[in-house]
Amino acid sequence: MGLEILVCMKQVPDTQKVKIDPERGTLIRKGVPSIMNPFDESALELALEIKEAVGGRITVLSMGIPDAECILRDSLTLGAEKAYLLTKGDFAGADTLATSYTISRAIKTIGKYDLLLFGKQAIDGDTAQVGPEVSAYLDLPVVTFVSDVIKVEKRSVVVERMIDNGKQVIKAPIPSVLTVVKARQRLRIPTIDGIVSSFERNVVRLGPDDIGADIKRCGLKGSPTRVKKIFSPEGKGSTSYIEGNLEQMSAEFIDVLKHKGLYRR
Amino acid sequence: MGDYPTGIYNINAHSDGMGIVDGESRIREEYSDYLKDESNTFGSGVEKLFFPENIKHVSYIVREAQKRGKFITISGGRTGICAGAVAEGGWLLSLEKMKRILTLSSKSGSFELKVESGLRLSELVTKVRSRELGIEGSSMERFIESSQTFLYPPDPTETTAMLGGTVATNASGARTFYYGPTRRWVVGMEVVLTSGELLRIRRGEVKENNGYFSIRREGGTPIRLPFPGYTIPETKHSAGLFSKRGMDIIDLFIGSEGILGIIVNVTIVLIPEPVSYIGGVGFFNSEKHAVDFVINARNGDQKPLALEYFDSGSLLLLDETRKIQGPTSEIPEIPYISGISDNTKINVYAVYFESAGWRGEKKDDMNESIKKWQMLIEKSGGDPAVSWGAISKRDLLRLKSFRHSLPETINKIIAQNKRMDPRIHKVGTDMAVPDSHLAEMVDFYRETLDGESLRYVIFGHIGNNHLHVNMIPDSHTELERAKKLYGMFARKAVSLGGTVSAEHGIGKLKREYLALLYTRNEIQMMKTIKHVLDPKGILTPGNMFEPH
């Protein structure tokens, strides 16, 4: 049958390696590598599996600085056919409202899609708002917390979604927006042939004019959200790290316990 | 270091502020980690454990040991697998507190870094990457401001190894294929001799001349140290003392396994790092095709940094690990294997390859390079449609953990088998042969092992014709059989002009194989050299030769 699948993705700092400047309350980004948001990796893997099962084409879309092209290029090596990057100063500083507006404008411009996949949330902002907001702008149904696509039918998909006490199976119409959780198979590794064929494909860059966007609704200008303060939660007590191989670490740990009188043979 | 030409210098020894743990039972109970290495060989009867913090402390220990007739064993990261750091009685000297970075000097586009022996490789990598060496000076400013990043090329898998240990064992890693072993990147060292004096060596200053090294001695007569004079295999090699006509004296100490002196610091070279890496794993349905790929990759213009092998048995083990780890596993789905239920007879062989992009090259060059790998896989009978490629950091890291998972997986199985019989251990070969004999050696391994019921895998540094056959015995009978096979493999490698140990060294566990490689007279020559520097034989008894 062949589905047109769109995967929206974001380049994020590897938050496992990010620290917060305690005085200024801002993220220290220096030297922190950028990665594809892990939830978006799951969404892309799901898209690739759907494509393998029923055929189709995958388009990837992102908004960010020019360097965000890296995650789109990686997607092309894995088998995405088309890639678009929204990158222009007017887009900078966007909150989820302005982001969703911009992305929905772009989607209306670049094509019609059967399934629109988002990672459930990005690991830097953690809002989980962009997928549902885009669905509102596009007037499409949305299924959040999707963990798998069980079946693709002619005009619908059957998906599994995670809920607090288990799983829920839902039939959603085509087209729909799905936001994907991380509990899936990890994003695959590209093949040599995949990398070579990606050389033929380019990442198309889009600005506000290309998507007919009102720049007052984009970027910082279109963002009512104000960040009042970012801070590290105050730690209680202190943390010390034990280094070395397993044996050395265990031995040192036992020493610490002994020192505190918590270890007896 | 330029202030001190190669020679022997006096040291004012003292023990002020040094940590000393006294008493056999206390050491056994509270410091048992210091009694064993990664081979799980346990030492015993250690009377004192020293934690020297400087050269004067080390000098003090050897002087005292001389006076009291005590043996000294040197302990680094204890990541070795031949028990070189495992002590039987006597005193144990841990270098872990000597981990300072001493000096940095800039040398035409690269840097030389003088570092104490106890710094772990992982710590060195972090410090060099972040450019935080904790020292000052004009070279340091140049280092910080450079637009390039720098790299210490040796990349042993065990990154908790200490730098001094990697020099004393001439350690290797996957990228040794391109960069050569540790030896190539060491330009200076300081060694505390059993006399308590300090030998400072700067590469290029003292070379073999008429069968001897002549070393000047501060305020005394020079030492004449004989040169080994035998021929060593021209493969990757780490067994016995190094020997080559006209060799530098520093090469005698690199790979000497602590029998000649205690290496307290080393001066290593940092070179510009490649700006990008290409990694991949080619998959093949026959072992011959995989070997062809290696030979083609070596002969082409790809200049691989590394070529690493995985046979079917290795890939099956990795796939088992992947399934146990579940969806978060770093190991990708393996072509031809993953998803198949009965895969015991599957034929799939893989070669990991890696090449680099250098400063000044264009993006197109990288694309061309990947296309060349694609063609090479195809030409050698493999399938680039299922073979993996990695150009992003994420994928390169995944391939790294793919490679490193295998030895860990094997060790887990061995640990299980050990519960049935504590005598069981892994029997892993470390032989290398010249390029022209790669296929013959692989065939010999396969034909020999296919006739056995023993579980085994073959993997490792195929670019250097240096494969590890890991035999996994599940009974004492199988263990004995594996040891016999080991001997057969060693003799075959030597008959092809190869070595019995390419990287693991001899230590205390592989002494018998030294005799396959060298004649009695040649081994006697090694002992003679040791005797000049350590007449009472107090240093690391049991390494390379039987203890007295």
Rounded Cα distance between B145 and A41, Å, is 36
Cβ separation A193–B385 shorter than 8 A: yes
Rounded Cα distance between A84 and A69, Å, is 9
Q: Which residues of A touch B36 (CB under 8 A)?
A: 247
Rounded Cα distance between B433 and B436, Å, is 8
Please give the ipTM for the structure prediction.
0.88
Cβ separation B384–A248 shorter than 8 A: no
Cβ separation A191–B384 shorter than 8 A: yes
Tell me the nearest-neighbour CA distance from B446 into chain A, angstroms: 29
- B133 neighbors B109 (Cβ within 8 angstroms): no
Cβ separation B390–A191 shorter than 8 A: no
Q: List chain A domain ranges.
A: 3-222, 239-265
Q: Which residues of A touch B388 (CB under 8 A)?
A: 189-192
Q: List chain B domain ranges.
A: 7-97, 101-272, 276-495
Q: B276-495, which class in CATH?
A: alpha beta
Residue A232 pLDDT more than 90?
no
Rounded Cα distance between B407 and B396, Å, is 19
Instruction: Report pTM.
Output: 0.89
Tell me the nearest-neighbour CA distance from A152 into chain B, angstroms: 22
Chain B residues within 8 angstroms (CB to CB) of chain A:
30-33, 36, 77, 79, 130, 160, 280, 282, 327-330, 332-333, 367, 370-371, 373-374, 377, 384-395, 398-399
Cβ separation A192–B280 shorter than 8 A: yes
Helices (H) and strands (E) in chain A, counts: 7, 13
Tell me the nearest-neighbour CA distance from B244 into chain A, angstroms: 37
Cβ separation B327–A36 shorter than 8 A: no
B101-272: CATH, from 3.90.650.10, 1.10.10.10, 3.30.465.10, 3.50.50.60: 3.30.465.10
Please tell me the number of Cα atoms within 13 Å of A211 on its side-chain side.
29
The residue of chain A nearest to residue B326, with distances taken between CA atoms, is: A185
Domain at B7-97: CATH architecture:
2-Layer Sandwich (3.30)
Rounded Cα distance between B299 and B311, Å, is 22
Cβ separation B327–A186 shorter than 8 A: yes
Write down the pLDDT at residue B340: 66
At A210-219, the pLDDT tens digits run 999 999 999 9
Name the one residue in this structure whose structure tokens are 């993006």.
B363
- A29 neighbors A80 (Cβ within 8 angstroms): no
Cβ separation A193–B333 shorter than 8 A: no
Give the best residue of B394, B396, B398, B401 to mutate against chain A (max A CB count within 10 A).
B394
Q: DSSP assignment, residue B103?
A: E
Q: Which residues of B touch A186 (CB under 8 A)?
A: 327-330, 332
Q: Which residues of A touch B395 (CB under 8 A)?
A: 74, 189-190
Write down the pLDDT at residue A14: 85
Cβ separation A190–B79 shorter than 8 A: no
- In B273-420, where do the E strands start and end? 276-284, 306-310, 349-357, 388-390
Fold matches, B7-97 and B276-495: no
The residue of chain A nearest to residue B397, with distances taken between CA atoms, is: A189
Q: Which residues of A touch B128 (CB under 8 A)?
A: none
Give the best residue of A37, A192, A196, A259 to mutate against chain B (max B CB count within 10 A).
A192
Give the best residue of B32, B33, B34, B78 to mutate against chain A (max A CB count within 10 A).
B33
Collapsed DSSP state (helix, strand, coil) of residue A136 = helix
- Locate B41 and state its tokens: 């060989």
Q: Which residues of A touch B387 (CB under 8 A)?
A: 191-193
More confident residue, A55 or B1: A55
Tell me the nearest-neighbour CA distance from A204 into chain B, angstroms: 18
Cβ separation A192–B389 shorter than 8 A: yes
Nearest to A119 by CA among A35, A45, A38: A38
Tell me the nearest-neighbour CA distance from B261 into chain A, angstroms: 26
Give the best residue of A12, A74, A189, A248 to mutate against chain B (max B CB count within 10 A).
A189
Nearest to B427 by CA among B461, B472, B492: B472
Collapsed DSSP state (helix, strand, coil) of residue A179 = strand
Cβ separation A189–B130 shorter than 8 A: no
Average pLDDT over residues A36-45: 96
Q: Which residues of B touch A31 (CB under 8 A)?
A: 130
Cβ separation A193–B384 shorter than 8 A: yes
Q: What is the pLDDT along chain B (548 residues), one digit of tens a residue?
A: 446 899 999 999 999 999 999 999 999 999 999 999 988 889 999 999 999 999 999 999 999 999 999 999 999 999 999 999 999 999 999 999 999 999 999 988 899 999 999 999 999 999 999 999 999 999 999 999 999 999 999 999 899 999 999 999 999 999 999 999 999 999 999 999 999 999 999 999 999 999 999 999 998 899 999 999 999 999 999 999 999 999 999 999 999 999 999 999 999 999 999 999 999 999 999 999 999 999 999 998 889 999 999 999 999 999 999 988 888 888 999 999 866 666 567 899 999 999 999 888 887 888 999 999 999 999 999 999 999 999 988 899 999 889 989 988 998 899 899 889 988 888 999 999 999 999 999 999 999 999 899 999 999 999 999 999 999 999 999 999 999 999 999 999 999 999 999 999 999 999 999 999 999 999 999 999 999 999 999 999 999 999 87
Give the best residue of B395, B403, B411 to mutate against chain A (max A CB count within 10 A).
B395
Write down the pLDDT at residue B1: 44
A3-222: CATH, from 3.40.50.620, 1.10.10.10, 3.40.50.720, 3.30.360.10: 3.40.50.620
Q: Which residues of A touch B386 (CB under 8 A)?
A: 191
C-alpha distances (whole Å) from A249 to each of A244, A246, B33, B74 are: 6, 5, 10, 21
**Helical pair B363-379 and B287-299, crossing angle rounded to 10 deg:** 140
Q: Counting one residue from A and one from B, how many pairs have CB atoms under 8 Å apart? A: 75
Cβ separation A251–B327 shorter than 8 A: no
- Name the helix (H) or strand (E) containing B190: strand B186-192
Q: DSSP assignment, residue B481?
A: H
- Locate B132 and state its tokens: 């935080």
Q: Which of A74, A196, A251 sits opposite B392 (nearest CB)?
A: A74
More confident residue, A131 or A165: A131
Collapsed DSSP state (helix, strand, coil) of residue B395 = helix
- B20 neighbors B49 (Cβ within 8 angstroms): yes
Cβ separation A192–B374 shorter than 8 A: yes
Rounded Cα distance between A77 and A72, Å, is 9
At B485-540, the pLDDT tens digits run 999 999 999 999 999 999 999 999 999 999 999 999 999 999 999 999 999 999 99
Cβ separation A191–B389 shorter than 8 A: yes
Q: Please say whether the dihedral angle defined by the alpha carbons of residues B513, B517, B521 and B527, taken in this order, is positive or negative.
A: negative
Cβ separation B377–A192 shorter than 8 A: yes
Rounded Cα distance between A117 and A149, Å, is 11
Tell me the nearest-neighbour CA distance from A27 into chain B, angstroms: 18
- B263 neighbors B164 (Cβ within 8 angstroms): yes
Cβ separation B130–A31 shorter than 8 A: yes
How many C-beta atoms lie closer than 10 Å to residue B537's C-beta? Answer: 16
Long-range Cβ pairs for the range B142-149 (8 Å, 24+):
B142/B106, B143/B104, B143/B106, B143/B111, B148/B272, B148/B273, B148/B359, B149/B272, B149/B273
**Helical pair B312-325 and B393-420, crossing angle rounded to 10 deg:** 100
The residue of chain B nearest to residue A251, with distances taken between CA atoms, is: B33
